[in-house]
Structure 1
Amino acid sequence: MRDVLPWLLLLLVLIGHGGLHIAIYNRINAIGWPRKVVKGLTKFFLLTTIGIPAVALASAMDPLRTYLSGQGSWNVLPVWIVTYSVCCLVSLLVLGIPWLLSRPHLASDRVRAPRDVDVIDVRQHRSGPLTLTSKASWQSRMPMNQLLQLSVERVELPVIGLPPELDGYRIAHLSDVHLTGDIHPEYASFAVEKATELKPNLIALTGDIIDQRSCIDWLVDIFSPAEAPDGCHFILGNHDTRVVDSWETREAMDRAGWIDLGSQVMPRTLNGVACELIGNEHPWYARPELTPGTDRFRLLLSHSPDQFSWARRHGVHLMLAGHTHGGQGRLPLIGPVLSPSFHGSRYASGQFYRRPTTLFVTRGLGGVHLFRINCRPELALLTLRRMEASGP
């Protein structure tokens, strides 16, 4: 046991080191700072993820060998290594326990919702290739990459406080299209047309539509076929700031027949019920001002699930979000690890409830990183179901 303990502590230190850097990565990418600043910090902490263990190994090889052989205590190691190791062990407890409790099978605020899943390989519905660049071509052929396998998911979503008239109301939820020029626009067109075929009452798009200005010309062709009796509504996300004038994107979506909810509160009547449709693009754009104490049913489109607390404070009944891509990859049992959120991967995807708000987070359609490991792109058809109040 004495020989095993040093190796066990080293393993725990390395896990704590990796977990600390993952937590930093997730939270840096949730901040509304300029893209260059975020990318610079991300690269710096990627460097320290590799560099700190490498420097420790190179500068203290003999003391580490002595310690791991069981012939010496922590005292043989340099002070900075001992100090940093203690920080890693503390972070393993402080960050690791909440992370474990937020796993999909353990999370107390996760809501059970029946799903009917239909997976469509979009490549089989087009005669030509869907990849437009060599990068996209070889990455799409990577083993286990589900990049172009669209998962159409019909979800019976329980919503606390849902008016009886809205029981059975259907919302097609899209997000994170990420038009980069790597994937043919027919991929996004297929998803939009499929959303219309599902015959929803309303279609919602929760941001990150475009990454390259040259793709603005695609928007009308992609999105104009969408139809729903109560309209097609959209907001923008952080990647939409990459187009210098975001109004170009908004105007193109307007020409496609979509309704811009960005930073707005829009009174609407849905199935005879007085509602407020709300768009929250914070922290990349302004948040709307809401009046307290309304009797209207509040439906919020938010790019990031980090606005969950804001939604709860403002009496939102149902919040739809994207941004996190389901973690882009999911480990068996453990679920997602990387997720650009202040909550880490807690709200990477799925349905949650914290009084008085039900939150649904979609995995989205695309991404700048052209891989999806055990995490298919998602088009969700949400059928709202009335439930009695319960939960935290």
Structure 2
Amino acid sequence: MRSLERDPAEATSMIDLIQPLANRLDTLFAEPLFRILLLAAILLAHFGLRLTFYNRLNSMGWKRATIKRIEKIAFAETWITPFVLGWIFFHPILSWLRGEARLEVLPVGVLAYAAFCLVMGGLFGFLWLLWRPIWKIQHVSAKRDVQVHDVSKQTGLTLARTRKCRWAAKLPMNQIFEMAVEQIELPVVGLPEKLDGYKIAHLSDIHLTGQVAPDFTAHAVSIATDWSPDLIALTGDIVDKQPCVAWLHGLFSPARAKDGCYFVLGNHDTRVSDPDVVRDRMTDAGWIDVGGKIETVSLRSLECQLLGNEWPWFTRPNDPFISDESIDFRLCLSHSPDQFDWCRRNGVDLMLAGHTHGGQGQLPLAGPILSPSWHGSRWASGDFYRSPTTLHVSRGLSGVHLLRIRCRPELSLITLRCPGS
């Protein structure tokens, strides 16, 4: 059996690889101030890589208990690793920061980890900067008219049902009850002329947890219906808590649209004992379940397909059944924007999604950081185009996290437009 001890040749090879880099860093960062900045960059990369892992972890279709267990371990490791290394090697690090020693005073393993953080952190950091909303890469320029509804003040109702929610609502800058009703003129490449001006009310991420009164959702459904849309779409995460299933009929049965109201489920709908009960209650309320299905519908006398993509938590349509050349327009309701490439492969013209909540909070200029997506915060919210698919991602109406900073809940009232019309 091979010895568990490191082969001396392997250790020498690693030293030969790390040592020149350490010597170069010593030369480039000779001044104490520069060394402090280098250490700060390493720490920033360490935390950035953990954030990257967190975003990808929460895009997986694994069981919630598994994800939460890994999440807790990862969170602990995020803080323990730099603390332990700092504690053990405090004096060598301090001597290096003061310019009194070279990096060779630190073990090769520590230097290797620091190099890993700098290289991988630099790579992911570059990609993160590249997809910031300020650069508008792959973004669609859509005209928006935004009206902010302070729902609690406008309805005169107390929306916070629990002490936790009342406390959260009082936090400075928290916008959980400031609903942004966004009327969007969305240009869609490949849109048939007959569908120019077609109106879709898009709701997402209702998150009935019992923390927020159902009146908040009822207000959104009422506004969407009063807008007289041609179609209403709901893209998942409807119920989190079993008792709230009883609210569904009363909340969603008043919704009306000329061509119908359609829905799919999301990952949080797996938290009730039987997600099929959610489907049944929504169907009883007059909504059409397209989860994992293909519905051929007539929209303004055009033959169109409505696709429901609930992957990776439930199902999505089989690719071979989608390629019908007689179809004039394809609309996909997907809970996660991660299905963007799937829609592109299948010739979807317009994809509506949610799930990412706009990042739950957004920094000035930099935009969102947190986003449960395999692509991080790249498609956290907004309008995007990658041939042949236009994607609209809603920030959603609510969430289990009772905090929204510079990221208001969103009700999207979308009017489809032919580009250049």
Evaluate the alpha carbon distance shift between residue 240 and residue 58 of structure 1 in structure 2; reply closer, same or farther with a 3 A threshold: same
Between 1:125-134 and 1:184-193, the stretch displaced more is 125-134
Which residue does the alignment assign to 1:292? 323
Q: How far, CA to CA, are the matches of 1:332 and 1:353 in structure 2?
A: 24
Give a deviation string over 1:342-391, Cα, whole Å, max 9, x none.
00000000000000000000000000000000000000011101127xxx
Of 45, 62, 72 in structure 2, the residue corresponding to residue 16 of structure 1 is: 45
Which residue does the alignment assign to 2:156? 127
Superposition deviation, residue 189 in structure 1: 0.6
Higher helix share: 2
Of 84, 96, 100 in structure 2, the residue corresponding to residue 67 of structure 1 is: 96
Which residue does the alignment assign to 2:414? 382
Which residue does the alignment assign to 2:250? 221
How do 1:326-345 residues align onto structure 2 when only pairs under 5 Å count? Answer: 326-345=358-377
Q: Is the partner of 1:105 in helix, strand or coil?
A: helix
Q: How far, CA to CA, are the matches of 2:129 and 2:215 in structure 1?
A: 39
Q: How far, CA to CA, are the matches of 1:13 and 1:102 in structure 2?
A: 22
- Unaligned runs of at least 5 residues, structure 1: none
Q: How far, CA to CA, are the matches of 2:76 and 2:57 in structure 1?
A: 15
TM-score scaled by length of structure 2: 0.91
Superposition deviation, residue 70 in structure 1: 1.3
Q: Which runs of 4+ in 1 moved over 4 A?
A: none
How do 1:69-218 residues align onto structure 2 when only pairs under 5 Å count? Answer: 69-218=98-247
Q: Is the partner of 1:250 in helix, strand or coil?
A: helix
Of 379, 404, 407 in structure 2, the residue corresponding to residue 372 of structure 1 is: 404
Q: Is the partner of 1:43 in helix, strand or coil?
A: helix
TM-score scaled by length of structure 1: 0.97
Q: Which amino acid aligns with 2:56?
A: R
Q: How far, CA to CA, are the matches of 2:54 and 2:406 in structure 1?
A: 21
How do 1:237-252 residues align onto structure 2 when only pairs under 5 Å count? Answer: 237-252=266-281
- Report if aligned partners of 2:294, 2:322 keep a CA contact under 8 Å in 1: no
Q: Which amino acid aligns with 1:301?
A: L
Q: How far, CA to CA, are the matches of 2:303 and 2:157 in structure 1?
A: 46
Give a deviation string over 1:103-140, Cα, whole Å, max 9, x none.
00114211111100000000013334111111111011
Q: Is the partner of 1:216 in helix, strand or coil?
A: helix
Give a deviation string over 1:144-178, Cα, whole Å, max 9, x none.
00000000000110100000000000100000000
Quote the RMSD (CA, aligned, Å): 1.1
Q: How far, CA to CA, are the matches of 1:46 and 1:294 in structure 2?
A: 49
Q: How far, CA to CA, are the matches of 2:31 and 2:153 in structure 1?
A: 59
Which residue does the alignment assign to 1:54? 83
Q: How far, CA to CA, are the matches of 1:98 and 1:250 in structure 2?
A: 38
Between 1:83-92 and 1:300-309, the stretch displaced more is 83-92
Of 333, 346, 351 in structure 2, the residue corresponding to residue 301 of structure 1 is: 333
Between 1:106-115 and 1:125-134, the stretch displaced more is 125-134
- Report if aligned partners of 2:266, 2:310 keep a CA contact under 8 Å in 1: yes
Between 1:84-93 and 1:312-321, the stretch displaced more is 84-93
Superposition deviation, residue 78 in structure 1: 2.9
Superposition deviation, residue 273 in structure 1: 1.1
Which residue does the alignment assign to 1:271? 300
Which residue does the alignment assign to 2:6? none
**Mapped pair 1:231 → 2:250:** no
> Quick one: percent identity of the two aligned structures?
51
Superposition deviation, residue 52 in structure 1: 1.1
Give a deviation string over 1:50-106, Cα, whole Å, max 9, x none.
111111111111011111111112211233321211111012221011110100011
Of 337, 355, 361 in structure 1, the residue corresponding to residue 387 of structure 2 is: 355
- Report if aligned partners of 1:159, 1:384 keep a CA contact under 8 Å in 2: yes
Which residue does the alignment assign to 2:5? none
Q: How far, CA to CA, are the matches of 1:203 and 1:158 in structure 2?
A: 18
Between 1:207-216 and 1:92-101, the stretch displaced more is 92-101
Q: Is the partner of 1:218 in helix, strand or coil?
A: helix
Superposition deviation, residue 222 in structure 1: 0.7
Q: How far, CA to CA, are the matches of 2:385 and 2:191 in structure 1?
A: 13
Q: Which amino acid aligns with 2:405?
A: I
**Mapped pair 1:324 → 2:356:** yes
Superposition deviation, residue 4 in structure 1: 1.7
Q: How far, CA to CA, are the matches of 2:156 and 2:315 in structure 1?
A: 43
Q: How far, CA to CA, are the matches of 2:100 and 2:202 in structure 1?
A: 60
Superposition deviation, residue 293 in structure 1: 4.7
Superposition deviation, residue 184 in structure 1: 0.4
Q: Is the partner of 2:74 in helix, strand or coil?
A: helix
Superposition deviation, residue 199 in structure 1: 1.3
Q: How far, CA to CA, are the matches of 1:294 and 1:351 in structure 2?
A: 26
Q: How far, CA to CA, are the matches of 2:119 and 2:325 in structure 1?
A: 45
Q: Is the partner of 1:387 in helix, strand or coil?
A: coil
